[in-house]
Amino acid sequence: MQELERLKQWIQESDNIVFFGGAGVSTESGIPDFRSVDGLYNQQYEYPPETIISHSFYMRNPEEFYRFYKNKMLFPEAKPNAAHLALAKLEAQGKLRAVITQNIDGLHQAAGSREVLELHGSVHRNYCTRCGKFYGLDDILAMDGVPHCSCGGKIKPDVVLYEEGLDQKTIQRSVDYIRQADILIVGGTSLTVYPAAGLIDYYNGKKLVLINRSVTPMDSRANLVICGKIGEVFAQIV
């Protein structure tokens, strides 16, 4: 396939690649995304995921929030797939500067990536909203219902809920990486969740690559569009 060969060549020639990804990067690890046919939005719940994982819903009904969150958003058994592993390899080779992700699953770090900017936080970090004590994912899974701290405070995942703002430092660092990038590879994201999707506006180069198994609103802006499963694509080029 001509597109794969072109991407392979661009990667060979560069030492300043930045990757920006979304839920589609982890579907091949068995974690559903939000918008594909078999994704979370197409399942049957009393409320849509966007409502349940919003700040106001969490405040109003933490029991229901945690029921959904634990059942549908935590995948402690998931393992990195070929896309996560390829990105970690490119970083180790000195070619890739950073992974910027909308995912909260921690699979890039599990694959060995070091510079991972998590725009929407991580399920692996949880804090007591009263005393600030830290809890890991296993702690949350071990507690029934709404997890509580030893001090009695409620524990909240360090995940950006709908209606909440993103961490400004993470955004600024992402903008800096993207501005300076030689190649920006965008993969497995519907590019519909803002402000994250707006980050690609900061890219100044001429090697914007989109890898997705469906069309995105940004396809016409890309210099190279590869339609396919991202793990399979990366397995062929790295």
Q: Rounded distance, CA 137 to CA 66, Å?
A: 13
Q: Which of residues 117-136 bind ligand NAD (CB under 6 A)?
A: 120
What's the closest the beta carbon of residue 39 comes to ligand NAD, in angstroms? 6
Q: Rounded distance, CA 66 to CA 203, Å?
A: 37
Task: Answer yes or no whether residue 103 interacts with ligand NAD by CB under 6 A.
Answer: yes
What's the closest the beta carbon of residue 120 comes to ligand NAD, in angstroms? 4
Task: Answer yes or no whether residue 212 interacts with ligand NAD by CB under 6 A.
Answer: yes
The two structure tokens encoding residue 29: 């690890």
The site map against ligand NAD for 157-196 (x = CB under 6 A) is -------------------------------xxx-xx---
- Nearer Cβ to ligand NAD (65/149): 65
- Nearer Cβ to ligand NAD (120/156): 120
190 φ, ψ (degrees, to nearest 5): -75, -10
Q: Which of residues 134-153 bind ligand NAD (CB under 6 A)?
A: none
- Nearer Cβ to ligand NAD (47/131): 47
Buried b (16+ CB within 10 A) or exposed e, 181-196: bbbbbbbbbbbebeeb
Closest C-alpha to 81, from 174, 10, 156, 187: 187
Nearest-5° Cα angle at 111, 99 to 105: 70
DSSP 3-state of 23: helix
- Nearer Cβ to ligand NAD (128/185): 185
Task: Answer yes or no whether residue 105 interacts with ligand NAD by CB under 6 A.
Answer: yes
Q: How many CB atoms lie within 10 A of CB 132?
A: 10
What's the closest the beta carbon of residue 112 comes to ligand NAD, in angstroms? 18
Q: Which of residues 30-69 bind ligand NAD (CB under 6 A)?
A: 31, 33-36, 39
Give catalytic residues, as residue numbers: 120
Provide the edge-to-edge strand list for the sheet that holds 121-128: 134-135, 121-128, 155-159
Which residues bind to ligand NAD, rule: CB under 6 A? 22-24, 26-28, 31, 33-36, 39, 102-105, 120, 188-190, 192-193, 212-214, 229-230
